Structure 1
């Protein structure tokens, strides 16, 4: 197992292919693409930093975030079928985003800033954002399909 100082050297050494997504930027993109997006990126950052315990915690945030998306998907379809609207899940989602930001994103941003300052090898955003947009489109299509199926079958 590598020590923290060895890991720091590896993260600075771009020849090993280790680079990080800026955790503050990942948190901001999570407002658009949900905490699932940011939790996945933070998990990958923790892995690159050689912090398996923190990566496991980030994985739990990711799994819970995906679970929340599934609940929102089902709730949206049921609301469409029942011609109703509930804001409770929306408020919970915003509260969850804030909790994730404070408990998961901010600590990693502080650590990266303390350890590397502004000078750290950065992952490119093109591929991650392309996947996030594709995932968002797929989610919206699935939501529409599920809503249509519930209305058509009942």
Structure 2
């Protein structure tokens, strides 16, 4: 008589051994960790990791999309090395790398992290030793390359767009407001001597040239005329004032014609005295003596012997 409490007999003919239906666990790198490592190794590293993850998942299209970010990141990193973005557009340029990192993170990293979460993908986290060991020498070599590489001399209009026009505008403002001159700066040549510092050569509409020092501070541009330039405009101011004084002298003596139209050949005799030639409207010339005493100026027509 059989025992009613005994287990049922195996009528299938199969052994009692357990059948293993466990599939291999998917091994992936954590995309969020890849983003963190990319702060050091650039998004080129992170994009490669994200692309390899997609291939392991079996999504070829997403893998290709992630790989496109490898090329985009490579171009961005090379551009950051070659082109001084901070100098190009002032303080705004300092935030371009941060903006690029955020764009890459939300377009690629977050995309994969969201997929793994929504699809409930169970995976085993891969270690970082091998990818970091491969990337570290490359990063170090890139660092050496950027520190010992020969600087690229960019054309001024490319490296600092609009700087020459801005400096020319400021020079004209100084000429008009400080020296009360109608002379204008028609051409400006800028040469970079250090980060944010420039040396310029200004050309006036009368052919005169002088030097200026330019300092670029964030969004501000400071222009300082050289001592020679200040002396040039000081002498121009003397000549302009001398024209008015010569005509006043002739007006007092009822000599209305010809009028003085310019003062030329200014010659400095000492700290306060000058000799010059007054050119009249009929092209005759009168020698004059000029005495500059502080803010006052005196002109005397030198009578010819």
TM-score computed with the length of structure 2 as normaliser: 0.38
8 Å CA contact 1:72–1:89 kept in 2: the answer is no
Structure 1 62/89 Cα, relative in aligned 2: closer, same or farther at 3 Å?
Answer: farther
Aligned mates of 1:56, 1:88 — CA distance in 2: 32
More strand by share: 2
1:36 to 36, 44, 50: 44
Say which structure, 1 or 2, has more relative contact order (CA 8 Å, 6+ apart): 1
Once the 2 structures are TM-superposed, how far is the Cα of residue 132 of structure 1 from its aligned partner? 2.5
More helix by share: 1
2:143 to 129, 133, 140: 140
Aligned mates of 1:87, 1:36 — CA distance in 2: 25
Aligned length in residues: 129
Question: Which residue of the partner structure matches residue 62 of structure 1?
Answer: 70
Question: Which residue of the partner structure matches residue 103 of structure 1?
Answer: 107
Aligned mates of 1:54, 1:138 — CA distance in 2: 30
Once the 2 structures are TM-superposed, how far is the Cα of residue 32 of structure 1 from its aligned partner? 2.0
- Confirm whether residue 127 of structure 1 aligns to residue 138 of structure 2: no
Structure 1 33/89 Cα, relative in aligned 2: closer, same or farther at 3 Å?
Answer: farther
Output one character per residue of 1:111-153: Cα deviation in whole Å (capped at 9) or x when no partner.
1223346x4122210011122222221111110121xx338xx
- Confirm whether residue 19 of structure 1 aligns to residue 17 of structure 2: no
3-state SS of paired residue (2:28):
coil
Judge which range, 52-61 or 67-76, deviates more.
67-76
Question: Which residue of the partner structure matches residue 74 of structure 1?
Answer: 82
Output one character per residue of 1:1-49: Cα deviation in whole Å (capped at 9) or x when no partner.
xxxxxxxxxxx614xxx52111111111112221111111000001111
Structure 1 127/91 Cα, relative in aligned 2: closer, same or farther at 3 Å?
Answer: same
Aligned mates of 2:28, 2:83 — CA distance in 1: 35
3-state SS of paired residue (2:124):
coil
Output one character per residue of 1:65-109: Cα deviation in whole Å (capped at 9) or x when no partner.
011111122236xx9xxxx78655542111010011111101101
Once the 2 structures are TM-superposed, how far is the Cα of residue 62 of structure 1 from its aligned partner? 0.8
Q: Which runs of 5+ in 2 are unaligned?
A: 1-22, 153-305
Bigger Cα Rg: 2
TM-score computed with the length of structure 1 as normaliser: 0.72
Aligned mates of 2:103, 2:27 — CA distance in 1: 26
3-state SS of paired residue (2:112):
helix
